Structure 1
Amino acid sequence: MTDLLIERRDGVLDITFNRPERRNAFTRAMYGELRQLWIDTAADRSVRVVVLRGAGGKAFAAGNEISDFVGNEDVVQYEDWIRGMLDGLFRLPQVTVAAVDGVCVGGGLAVATSCDLRVATAGSRFGYPIARTLGNALSSPVLYRCAAVFGESLTREMLLASRLVDADRAHAVGAVLSVLSDRDALDAEVETLVAGILQASPATLRTTKQQLAARARLTEVAPPEEEALLHEVYGGPDFAEGVRAFLAKEKPAFGAT
């Protein structure tokens, strides 16, 4: 079994995150494969649409595989490497669609907000509950991308109150195009969406994406002090406690600082 299922059909690249037993949490190997896949896909004019899904019906993707952080000499550098994968996805010339069925949190939400379009089943939920789980922090570009998609108010709720946003609220702010009753309805909606994209002018779609990417480069840049700030967070006691507690399946006991 592969952790990424990749299928090519006329004009469409279908990608399924295939770790349902771990709610499709991303491993280092998956990130590496996705990084290369975006490089190859960007140069492939036969692909017009990229669709991303999660296997199992419980999650699109539930963040990173936390064990990958153990023994990692520089977690900030690892997160920066992951952000390069997200940037590659965001800058693809093809239209990208996240078909969300279930939990979409952490790294899964970072991937979904790097896509152009999102559709979801009614039971799907979105968020970054990291203040209650790992005690880490998002990089500014990932945070800004979430705010661009969900709005600042819901982004603050996700991060500061550790609350998950349901599909209806996400739809109300335009973060998802439509909310479907179940997986079959979701798949049907994706096919309708894909069919419409395949009929559209490739020149219009590519140009629009280039224009929006240029705007994002101006508004989603990390501040100069960010690396030092993230090193302080990832090297601090809260993150160490968060990783320990997660792997031990315990509730973390974060400090007051």
Structure 2
Amino acid sequence: MSDSELLVTSADGVVTVVFNRPQRHNAFTKAMYAEMRALFEDLATRPDVRVVVLRGAGGRAFAAGNDIGDFLDEDDASAYEEWIGEMLAALFDLPQVTIAAIDGVCVGGGLAVATHCDIRIATPESRFGYPIAKTLGNALSAPVLYRCAAAFGEGVTRTMLLTGRLVDAERAYDVGALTEVTEDLNASIDALVGEITFASATTQRASKRQLNAQVRANEVQPDFDRPMLGDVYSGPDFKEGVRAFLAKEKPSFGRG
């Protein structure tokens, strides 16, 4: 496989994006986010593309969050989070049908990408969540949290975030977050792509525009969100979470 961290191929109206950092469970770097953003901006102008499939390399992870080193390189981690949010919004707004094909761990930034796709399918061993309450001590932006709640439901989302627990594929399917759980991910992708490309692009694009408009109306980012995230990312828990993560230790968060 190529040394590139983001592999993009195109054939017969289908663009496939592979996150290619298997040695790091496909954790996203800033460069990968920038490439995705540029790709999504280009795809928004491409009526010849009908389907966008996103998946991870290596068979162990879709994507395991963000590369923590990139947060250390940022003067304002909350601004970096907001920049990532703009990329996610570009993915969500694509006129094409988007599929997250998940094989393994799908957490943090990986789950954010997956929940901004139209359809999610996964292997039985896949796991989902935001374990940040027991790892980094940061917080999600409101738009990312709302996408998770829309996919998994409020109850499961609350449990994910308040306990740090991961959700297995069976539970994710039961609550409607997954369209399918499959032992043969490639065959399921092919079947799904066949259905989508056979169907009316006019119907798909019109339906996505309507559904996304409803989402925008209902999922308004509260005024306190940005300053709150600034406090979170400049606070002691995130500092301790990053220190412990890099040291491969359990963090010792404040209990206040």
TM-score, normalised on structure 1? Answer: 0.98
Structure 1, residues 225-249: CA drift from partner, whole Å, max 9, x if none? Answer: 1111111111100000001111111
Structure 1, residues 96-120: CA drift from partner, whole Å, max 9, x if none? Answer: 0000000000000000000000000
Structure 1, residues 39-73: CA drift from partner, whole Å, max 9, x if none? Answer: 00010111000000000011000000001011311
SS at match of 1:43: coil
Q: Which of 69, 72, 76 does residue 71 from structure 2 map onto?
A: 69
Q: Hey, what's the Cα distance between the residues in 2 that align with 1:37 and 1:126?
A: 25
Q: Hey, what's the Cα distance between the residues in 2 that align with 1:26 and 1:144?
A: 21
Aligned to 1:37: 39
Aligned to 2:106: 104
Q: Which of 159, 165, 168 does residue 166 from structure 1 map onto?
A: 168
Q: Hey, what's the Cα distance between the residues in 2 that align with 1:15 and 1:150?
A: 24
Aligned to 1:148: 150
Runs of 4 or more consecutive aligned structure 1 residues displaced over 4 Å after TM superposition: none
Aligned to 1:226: 225
Q: Hey, what's the Cα distance between the residues in 1 that align with 2:182 and 2:41?
A: 32
The one-letter amino acid of 2:217's match is L
Q: Hey, what's the Cα distance between the residues in 2 that align with 1:29 and 1:71?
A: 13
Structure 1, residues 107-137: CA drift from partner, whole Å, max 9, x if none? Answer: 0000000000000000000000000000000
Identity %: 61
SS at match of 1:98: strand
1:1-257 to structure 2, matched below 5 A, reads: 1-181=3-183, 185-257=184-256
The one-letter amino acid of 1:52's match is L
Q: Hey, what's the Cα distance between the residues in 2 that align with 1:75 and 1:251?
A: 21
Alpha-carbon offset, residue 222 of structure 1: 1.1
Q: Hey, what's the Cα distance between the residues in 1 that align with 2:59 and 2:159?
A: 25
Q: Any stretches of 5+ residues in structure 1 without a counterpart?
A: none
SS at match of 2:125: coil
SS at match of 1:135: coil
Q: Hey, what's the Cα distance between the residues in 2 that align with 1:43 and 1:100?
A: 26
The one-letter amino acid of 2:239's match is A
Q: Hey, what's the Cα distance between the residues in 1 that align with 2:238 and 2:172?
A: 29
Alpha-carbon offset, residue 151 of structure 1: 0.2
Q: Any stretches of 5+ residues in structure 2 without a counterpart?
A: none
The one-letter amino acid of 2:228's match is L
Q: Hey, what's the Cα distance between the residues in 2 that align with 1:8 and 1:20?
A: 22
Q: Hey, what's the Cα distance between the residues in 1 that align with 2:118 and 2:152?
A: 13
**Matched residue pairs, number?**
254
Q: Hey, what's the Cα distance between the residues in 1 that align with 2:72 and 2:96?
A: 35
Structure 1, residues 134-162: CA drift from partner, whole Å, max 9, x if none? Answer: 00000000001100010001101110111
The one-letter amino acid of 1:250's match is E
Q: Hey, what's the Cα distance between the residues in 2 that align with 1:69 and 1:27?
A: 10
Q: Hey, what's the Cα distance between the residues in 2 that align with 1:193 and 1:227?
A: 38
SS at match of 1:13: strand
The one-letter amino acid of 1:187's match is N
Structure 1, residues 206-229: CA drift from partner, whole Å, max 9, x if none? Answer: 000000110111112210111111
SS at match of 1:5: strand
The one-letter amino acid of 1:252's match is P
